[in-house]
């Protein structure tokens, strides 16, 4: 029973962590339909610059802010220079953002070096509580809280605010939003930059949990994020949160039984969802070729 | 009495709350020229898309030569003998005009998976494709990428492609839409020639005057329902039809 | 003139859709654009709105050029557009669809809101519902209501009667007559009876060019013109006029 | 029937279809030069570099079948390359360097790759472009991790080396072997893209819906494309393993697929030769820039340059180098033709 509770807590924390990475992708891909292959690179940019800021200042708050600031700058530049030119052209999007990924990854290596950099959990969040066999790691609880805050805030912004309304309307019919005197391009830039900021936030949150940052973490996490968005369904922020939890739990339980299979289980989970429900569990738009 | 080649039974499709095609029961007899007419938004193109397999109905059935084809995907309907054109010219833009038609000839021949012989070895495909291009007066442009054709020429190419499929039933959706006025007579003449052949033609058309002399049967749709069918004279005299076209508003 | 187009040409991809569009829309009343399917009526409206920008020619609104402006900037000048498919955001509620149109939160907007609720009582009942569940006619009314919420002085409406039952079309005619009190309307319409019922002036487009314009009541009498450009009557040997 | 006599018509068609002779002279000339290279230069590193360019060129051409001729973006193509490489490595490492086992490696590779391409294709090809791209990435990652974790067989990222048959160890011999392989594959792929099936693939790239309405089963054709591209990639993998005499999980990485993507895009998609050109440019530049890296470490990050070049090409020259050259040539001949910006 204790094992089960521990595994569930682990799974929840991992799930929330994946959701943090996926939330940005959920915005950009799920709502704008742009598959950003550089998402993992922005995530990594956030992680690296956060770790750097942490090592300089010993303040995790500053590290979070620095990571997100870098994410915002990188996202803004990427949108301005390239992504803007390929809205509505899916194949070109994949090709262009792949190029961005290559360039960003190399720039990161040039700036921070190609090696693994160790990072520790900030003292305030380090350690764990032992409740009679149930081990509660503080940083995991912190992750779950941050994940919940992002999920609730994102959901609130999308459903209750004017900007959220514009985004949802834009997903359905961009032209018509323009006709209503709204500058959709600016809205999309804003969404893209927010997505980048969330990716970077995911990066700096993930770094202490992994104990280190490395140049391969981008692509791996981007894939997990994509799996989560597909499972949760395009255009559903809450769906992505639930997808994250599902993937986190499935991973945690399999890791206990058969550690080698934990990634396989995600891919298989996605394959099953796509075969049975091509729109994802909570999705609106379809993944299947019409 | 011959069996109908296409029969629809209570064919219905709904989009959201809107019933675009509403319980249509229609028999189309073989070797006839049938035109479906109706005011804009009557459900003509939707009905057409149901027949060709572009859409699947919410309820009801479609029979082709007595067999239920309601759930059969589009590419298999083509192989069964139903060929259609598209209102928006729908061709392969970067392939040449000849290649566009040849692909259709090849599809008809059943040679789909032949990966090692050069396509030029199949000279009969090219010959047939060329002959078809001659018949729509496009042979002079055979070697051009089809994206460079004028709009009217694309419609002609489109017709050559469908003819290459040698369908028993030819489904034509407004073949003159978007054509320059001077190009229309050539297409009308082509349609008139198709009529003499042994095939069933189903034409969706907005302009009544165009189909009047060509058609054996007119079918009138309005608001998704089958309003009337009969020979052109019967339809002209039908008061319901007149009302539908005038929109039911006192001027 | 509230709107004028001179020698406008528009390409969509390789297609030279609009070849020579010239039109003048005076302030007030309804100007109907008529023409066969594929003649370029919809593209004309979309070109005015900046959705398919023209490659040549001039478009002026109240004497100022709006050619080349992005659609949202054109909309901000007070031009409303209702596309053929109504452009309702079906995943949003009726209220959200309306709110998207309100750019300000001032008293005027509030009074416009009340006015719209008075004109369209059945929308008022469905404010909190997803607009995807509305009937075709209700969607059309919602689309019109949306343009009434701000100070639009020119309204471009593309085939509002399409796919609507005759009784709804009759209601639509009433609403368009009501609209005339507030704005100038440019209407693309295939339903000739509706065009005749609400329009003051007509413009005929054929093959991407404006070929004829004049007073609506005269077109109503001119069967030859109707047959030639609109294809709405039967050939003379075919018996009765349909 | 129109009143044109059959011979006239035949003549017309022949005239329309036969390629200008110049399109064959260039490749044949190039082939002759390449045949002569070992006779001119004794430089082993030059031969090695060219051999690698040939092999990566084969891999890039196989990718062009997917990207340029079928219009699909895969991120899992290295999976097939890796399968060929591992098949070769494992067989030689376990059995010893006999030439006969090479055919076992090739045959086994073909069989395994076909099965994998069919299964993965069946699961993913029905989905939209972007989904397909991401799902192939997921499968590639899955197999990569299997290779990483299955250390008892693969030795993971450290890899393992093996001996190859003596005759293939000679650099000059192997240079010619890979050149012959390249020539054969060029001939095979050219035939494939000009075959009835190949033409259907191009039709699918242009307009999937219309191809379906002609009566073609689009999914089946995409599967064929996937299998052929996969099998050719596995040949490249076999050849690569024979040259390196070493295999590690590096052959399965996404980077390997992205290499093919870069080569194909830079050289020009949908031309086959563009992929070869891309392989040549990347191979040469990689070689030259890593030499420069000894002078200044900033050149270790030479990939940045490629990334930027690649982005520039996707944005401004969608035809790549070869496509753009061909376009310039054809517009010179036909000045009236306007070409719309890529969509």
Q: Which chains, if any, share at least 3 CB pairs under 8 A with chain B?
A: C, D
Q: With an 8 Å Cβ cutoff, are D127 and A274 in contact?
A: yes
Q: Which of C79, B82, B248, D193 is nearest to A179 (CA)?
A: C79
How many other C-beta atoms can be found within 10 angstroms of the C-beta atom of residue D341? 6
Q: With an 8 Å Cβ cutoff, are A178 and C91 in contact?
A: no
Taking residues C199-223, what's their average pLDDT?
88
In a domain? residue D143: yes
Q: Is there an interface between B and A (3+ Cβ pairs < 8 A)?
A: no
Please report the pLDDT score of residue B136 as a whole number: 81
Please report the pLDDT score of residue D144 as a whole number: 87
The CA-based dihedral angle spanning residues C152, C155, C156, C162, taken in that order and rounded to the nearest 10 degrees: 120
C175 reaches B (C-beta below 8 A):
no
CB neighbours of D297 closer than 8 A, spacing ≥ 6?
A: none
* pLDDT less than 70: residues of chain B: 1, 16-17, 40-41, 85-90, 111-121, 177-182, 196-197, 206-207, 242-251
Please report the pLDDT score of residue C135 as a whole number: 82
The 3-state DSSP class for residue D205 equals helix
Q: Which residues of A touch C (CB under 8 A)?
A: 162, 165-166, 168-169, 171-173, 175-185, 284
A263 reaches D (C-beta below 8 A):
yes
Helix axes D273-295, D303-316, angle to 10 degrees: 150
Q: State the smallest CA–CA distance between residue B90 and chain D in angstroms.
A: 6
Domain count for chain D: 1
Please report the pLDDT score of residue A289 as a whole number: 38
Q: State the smallest CA–CA distance between residue D223 and chain B in angstroms.
A: 11
Q: Tokens standing for A199?
A: 């990716």
Please report the pLDDT score of residue C242 as a whole number: 27
Residue labelled with tokens 């029961």: B25
DSSP sequence for B186-208: HHHHHHHHHHHSS-EEEEE-S-H
D209: containing domain: 42-333
Please report the pLDDT score of residue D244 as a whole number: 93
Q: Tokens standing for B229?
A: 């069918």
Q: How far is CA D306 from the centre of its chain?
A: 18
- CB-nearest partner of B122 from D6, D196, D202: D196
* β-sheet bridge partners, residue C23: C5
Q: How confident is the model at residue D291 (pLDDT cuts 50, 70, 90)?
A: confident
How many other C-beta atoms can be found within 10 angstroms of the C-beta atom of residue B216? 15
Taking residues D108-123, what's their average pLDDT?
92
Q: Cα dihedral sign for D232, D234, D235, D237? A: positive
Please report the pLDDT score of residue A120 as a whole number: 86
Rounded Cα–Cα distance for residues B234 and B212 (Å): 11
Q: For the whole model, what pTM was predicted?
A: 0.79
Q: With an 8 Å Cβ cutoff, are C89 and A166 in contact?
A: no
Q: With an 8 Å Cβ cutoff, are C92 and A181 in contact?
A: no
Q: Which of B215, B214, B201 is nearest to B173 (CA)?
A: B201
Closest residue in C to A158 (Cα) is C92
Q: Tokens standing for D260?
A: 């093919």
In a domain? residue D18: no
Q: With an 8 Å Cβ cutoff, are B103 and D13 in contact?
A: no
Q: Which chains, if any, share at least 3 CB pairs under 8 A with chain A?
A: C, D
Please report the pLDDT score of residue D334 as a whole number: 46
- CB-nearest partner of C238 from B17, B206, B212: B212
Give the DSSP H or E segment for A112: helix A90-112
Q: With an 8 Å Cβ cutoff, are C100 and A173 in contact?
A: no
Buried b vs exposed e over A158-190: b needs ≥16 C-beta within 10 Å?
A: beeeeebbbbbbbbbbbebbbbbbbbbbebbbe
Contacts of A175 in chain C (CB under 8 A): 51, 71, 83, 87
Please report the pLDDT score of residue A152 as a whole number: 92
Q: State the smallest CA–CA distance between residue B59 and chain D in angstroms.
A: 23
Q: Which chains, if any, share at least 3 CB pairs under 8 A with chain C?
A: A, B
Beta strands in D108-163 (DSSP E): 160-161
Q: Which of B205, B198, B220 is nearest to B2 (CA)?
A: B198
Contacts of D128 in chain A (CB under 8 A): 90, 286-289
- CB-nearest partner of C191 from B174, B207, B247: B247
Q: With an 8 Å Cβ cutoff, are A173 and C87 in contact?
A: yes
Closest residue in A to D257 (Cα) is A98
DSSP sequence for B142-196: TTSBGGGS-HHHHHHHHHHHHHHT--SEEEEE-TTTT--GGGHHHHHHHHHHHHH
Q: Tokens standing for D9?
A: 């018509």
- CB-nearest partner of A102 from D73, D129, D307: D307
In a domain? residue D27: no
Rounded Cα–Cα distance for residues A25 and A41 (Å): 12
Buried b vs exposed e over C160-183: b needs ≥16 C-beta within 10 Å?
A: bbbbbbbebbbebbebbeebeeeb
The CA-based dihedral angle spanning residues A163, A169, A174, A178, taken in that order and rounded to the nearest 10 degrees: -60
Contacts of B90 in chain D (CB under 8 A): 207, 209-210, 213
Q: Cα dihedral sign for A96, A97, A101, A103? A: positive
Q: State the smallest CA–CA distance between residue C222 and chain B in angstroms.
A: 15
Q: Say whether domain A2-276 belongs to CATH 1.20.950.
A: no
The secondary structure of C40-88, three-state, reads: CHHHHHHHHHCCCCCCEEEEEECCEECCCCCHHHHHHCCEEEECCCCCC
In a domain? residue D97: yes
Closest residue in D to A285 (Cα) is D128
Domain containing D321 — which CATH number? Answer: 1.10.3470
Q: How far is CA C43 from the centre of its chain?
A: 12
Q: With an 8 Å Cβ cutoff, are B247 and C159 in contact?
A: no
Residue labelled with tokens 């002079």: B140
* pLDDT less than 50: residues of chain A: 285-290
How many other C-beta atoms can be found within 10 angstroms of the C-beta atom of residue C75? 26
Q: Which of B138, B136, B129, B192 is nearest to B166 (CA)?
A: B129
Q: Give the pLDDT confidence of C94-105 residue by residue, as tens digits.
A: 999 999 988 777
H-type alpha helices, A58-89: 60-81
Judge contact between B246 and C170, C-beta under 8 A.
no
Point out the least confidently predicted range of A6-20, C105-119, D21-35.
D21-35
Beta strands in chain B (DSSP E): 6-15, 18-28, 33-37, 59-64, 67-68, 82-84, 169-173, 200-204, 217-222, 225-230
Q: How confident is the model at residue C14 (pLDDT cuts 50, 70, 90)?
A: low
In a domain? residue D268: yes
> Considering only residues 178 to 207 of chain B, which have any Cβ-Cβ distance to chain C shorter than 8 Å?
178-181, 206-207
Residue labelled with tokens 């890039």: D60
The 3-state DSSP class for residue C186 equals strand
User: What is the count of residue pairs from B and D with beta carbons less than 8 Å apart?
Assistant: 124
How many other C-beta atoms can be found within 10 angstroms of the C-beta atom of residue C38? 21
Q: With an 8 Å Cβ cutoff, are B161 and D214 in contact?
A: yes
Q: How confident is the model at residue D286 (pLDDT cuts 50, 70, 90)?
A: confident
Rounded Cα–Cα distance for residues C97 and C129 (Å): 11
Q: Give the pLDDT confidence of C26-79 residue by residue, as tens digits.
A: 999 999 998 876 678 889 999 999 999 999 999 999 999 999 999 999 999 999
Rounded Cα–Cα distance for residues B162 and B177 (Å): 17
Is residue D149 over pLDDT 70?
yes
Q: State the smallest CA–CA distance between residue B248 and chain D in angstroms.
A: 38
Helix axes D218-244, D171-194, angle to 10 degrees: 170
Rounded Cα–Cα distance for residues D66 and D304 (Å): 25
Q: Which residues of C touch A (CB under 8 A)?
A: 49, 51, 70-72, 75-76, 80-81, 83, 87, 89-92, 96, 99-101, 103, 146, 150
Q: What interface predicted TM-score (ipTM) does this complex get?
A: 0.73
How many other C-beta atoms can be found within 10 angstroms of the C-beta atom of residue A3? 10
C135 reaches B (C-beta below 8 A):
yes
Point out the least confidently predicted range of D14-28, D42-56, D132-146, D199-213.
D14-28
Q: How confident is the model at residue C2 (pLDDT cuts 50, 70, 90)?
A: very high
Please report the pLDDT score of residue B242 as a whole number: 67
The 3-state DSSP class for residue C178 equals helix
Judge contact between D311 and A96, C-beta under 8 A.
yes
pLDDT exceeding 70 applies to what percent of chain D? 89
CB neighbours of C103 closer than 8 A, spacing ≥ 6?
A: A181, C109, C150
CB neighbours of C201 closer than 8 A, spacing ≥ 6?
A: C26, C29, C30, C31, C32, C213, C214, C215, C216
Judge contact between B187 and B211, C-beta under 8 A.
no
Q: With an 8 Å Cβ cutoff, are D73 and A289 in contact?
A: no
Please report the pLDDT score of residue D142 as a whole number: 85
Q: With an 8 Å Cβ cutoff, are A182 and C91 in contact?
A: no
Q: State the smallest CA–CA distance between residue D212 and chain B in angstroms.
A: 5
Q: With an 8 Å Cβ cutoff, are B92 and D207 in contact?
A: yes
């Amino acid at each position: 029973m204790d094992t089960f509770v521990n595994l569930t807590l682990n799974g929840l924390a991992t799930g929330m962590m994946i959701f943090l990475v996926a939330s940005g992708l959920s915005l950009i891909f799920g709502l704008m339909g742009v598959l950003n292959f550089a998402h993992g690179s922005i995530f990594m940019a956030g992680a690296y610059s956060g770790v750097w800021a942490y090592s300089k200042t010993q303040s995790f708050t500053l590290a979070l802010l620095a990571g997100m600031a870098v994410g915002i700058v990188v996202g803004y530049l990427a949108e301005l220079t390239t992504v803007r030119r390929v809205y509505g052209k899916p194949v070109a999007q994949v090709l262009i953002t792949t190029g961005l990924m290559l360039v960003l990854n190399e720039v990161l290596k040039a700036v921070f070096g190609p090696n693994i950099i160790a990072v520790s959990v900030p003292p305030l969040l380090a350690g764990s509580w032992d409740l009679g066999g149930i081990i509660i790691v503080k940083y995991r609880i912190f992750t779950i809280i941050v994940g919940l805050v992002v999920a609730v805030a994102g959901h609130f912004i999308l459903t209750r605010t004017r900007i959220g309304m514009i985004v949802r309307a834009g997903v359905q019919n961009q032209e018509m939003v323009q006709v209503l005197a709204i500058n959709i391009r600016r809205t999309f830039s804003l969404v893209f930059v927010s997505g980048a900021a969330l990716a970077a936030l995911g990066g700096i949150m993930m770094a202490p949990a992994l104990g280190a940052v490395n140049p391969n973490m981008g692509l791996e996490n981007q894939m997990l994020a994509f799996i989560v968005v597909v499972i949760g369904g395009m255009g559903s922020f809450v769906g992505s949160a639930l997808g994250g939890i599902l993937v986190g739990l499935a991973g945690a339980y399999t890791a206990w039984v058969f550690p080698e299979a934990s990634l396989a289980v995600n891919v298989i989970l996605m394959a099953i969802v796509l075969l049975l429900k091509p729109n994802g569990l909570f999705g609106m738009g379809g993944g299947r070729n019409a | 009495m011959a069996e109908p080649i296409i029969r629809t039974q209570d064919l219905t499709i709904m989009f959201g709350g809107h019933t675009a095609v509403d319980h249509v029961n229609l028999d189309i007899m073989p070797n006839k020229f049938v035109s479906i007419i109706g005011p804009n938004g009557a459900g003509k193109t939707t009905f057409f898309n149901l027949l060709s397999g572009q859409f699947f109905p919410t309820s009801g059935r479609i029979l082709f030569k007595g067999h239920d084809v309601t759930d059969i995907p589009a590419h298999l309907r083509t192989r069964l003998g139903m060929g259609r054109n598209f209102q928006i010219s729908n061709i392969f833009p970067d392939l040449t005009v000849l290649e566009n038609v040849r692909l259709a000839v090849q599809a008809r021949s059943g040679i789909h998976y032949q990966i090692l012989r050069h396509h030029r070895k199949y000279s009969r495909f090219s010959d047939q494709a060329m002959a078809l291009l001659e018949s729509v007066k496009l042979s002079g442009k055979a070697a051009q990428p089809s994206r460079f054709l004028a709009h009217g020429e694309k419609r002609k190419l489109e017709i050559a492609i469908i003819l290459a499929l040698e369908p028993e039933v030819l489904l034509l959706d407004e073949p003159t839409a978007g054509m320059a006025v001077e190009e229309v007579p050539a297409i009308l003449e082509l349609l008139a020639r198709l009529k003499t052949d042994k095939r069933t033609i189903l034409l969706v058309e907005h302009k009544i005057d165009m189909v009047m002399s060509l058609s054996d049967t007119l079918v009138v749709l309005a608001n998704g329902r089958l309003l009337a069918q009969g020979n052109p004279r019967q339809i002209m005299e039908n008061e319901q039809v007149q009302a539908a076209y005038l929109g039911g508003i006192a001027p | 003139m509230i709107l004028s187009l001179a020698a406008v040409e528009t390409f969509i991809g390789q297609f030279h859709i609009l070849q020579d569009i010239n039109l003048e829309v005076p302030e007030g009343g309804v100007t109907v654009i008529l023409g066969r399917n594929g003649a370029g009526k919809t593209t004309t409206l979309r070109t005015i709105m900046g959705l398919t920008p023209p490659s040549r020619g001039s478009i002026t609104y109240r004497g100022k050029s709006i050619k080349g402006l992005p659609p949202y900037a054109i909309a901000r000048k007070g031009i409303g557009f209702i596309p053929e498919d109504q452009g309702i955001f079906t995943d949003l509620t009726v209220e959200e669809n309306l709110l998207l149109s309100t750019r300000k939160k001032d008293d005027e907007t509030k009074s416009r809101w009340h006015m719209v609720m008075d004109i369209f009582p059945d929308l008022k009942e469905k404010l909190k519902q997803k607009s995807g569940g509305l009937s075709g006619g209700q969607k059309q009314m919602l689309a019109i209501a949306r343009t009434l919420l701000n100070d639009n002085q020119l309204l471009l409406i593309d085939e509002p009667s399409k796919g609507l039952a005759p009784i709804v079309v009759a209601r639509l005619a009433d609403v368009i007559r009501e609209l005339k009190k507030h704005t100038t309307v440019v209407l693309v319409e295939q339903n000739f009876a509706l065009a005749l019922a609400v329009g003051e002036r007509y413009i005929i487009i054929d093959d991407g060019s404006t070929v004829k314009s004049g007073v609506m009541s005269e077109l109503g009498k001119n069967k030859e013109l109707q047959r030639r450009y609109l294809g709405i009557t039967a050939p003379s040997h075919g018996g009765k006029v349909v | 029937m129109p009143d044109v006599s059959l011979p006239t018509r035949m003549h017309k068609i022949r005239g329309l279809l036969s390629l200008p002779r110049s399109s064959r002279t260039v490749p044949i000339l190039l082939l002759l030069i390449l045949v002569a290279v070992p006779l001119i230069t004794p430089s082993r590193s030059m031969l090695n570099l060219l051999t690698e360019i040939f092999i990566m060129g084969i891999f890039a051409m196989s990718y062009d079948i997917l990207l340029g001729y079928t219009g699909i973006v895969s991120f899992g193509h290295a999976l097939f390359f890796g399968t060929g490489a591992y098949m070769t490595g494992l067989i030689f490492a376990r059995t010893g360097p006999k030439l006969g086992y090479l055919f076992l490696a090739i045959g086994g590779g073909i069989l395994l790759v076909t099965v994998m391409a069919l299964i993965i294709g069946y699961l993913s090809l029905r989905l939209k472009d972007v989904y397909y791209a991401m799902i192939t990435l997921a499968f590639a990652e899955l197999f990569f991790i299997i290779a990483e974790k299955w250390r008892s067989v693969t030795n993971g990222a450290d890899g393992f080396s093996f001996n190859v048959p003596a005759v293939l160890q000679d650099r000059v011999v192997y240079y010619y072997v890979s050149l012959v392989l390249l020539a054969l594959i060029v001939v095979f792929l050219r035939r494939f893209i000009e075959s009835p099936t190949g033409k259907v693939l191009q039709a699918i790239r242009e307009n999937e819906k219309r191809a379906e309405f002609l009566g073609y089963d689009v999914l089946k054709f995409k599967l064929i494309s996937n299998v052929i591209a996969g099998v050719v990639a596995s040949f490249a993998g076999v050849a690569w393993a024979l040259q390196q005499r070493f295999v590690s999980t590096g052959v399965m990485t996404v980077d390997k697929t992205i290499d093919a993507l870069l080569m194909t895009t830079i050289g020009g998609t949908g031309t086959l030769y563009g992929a070869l050109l891309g392989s040549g440019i990347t191979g040469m530049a990689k070689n030259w820039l890593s030499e420069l890296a000894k002078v200044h470490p900033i050149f270790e990050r030479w990939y940045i340059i490629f990334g930027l070049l690649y982005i520039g090409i996707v944005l401004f020259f969608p035809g790549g180098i070869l496509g753009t050259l061909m376009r310039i040539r054809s517009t010179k001949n036909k000045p009236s033709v306007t070409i719309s910006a890529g969509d």
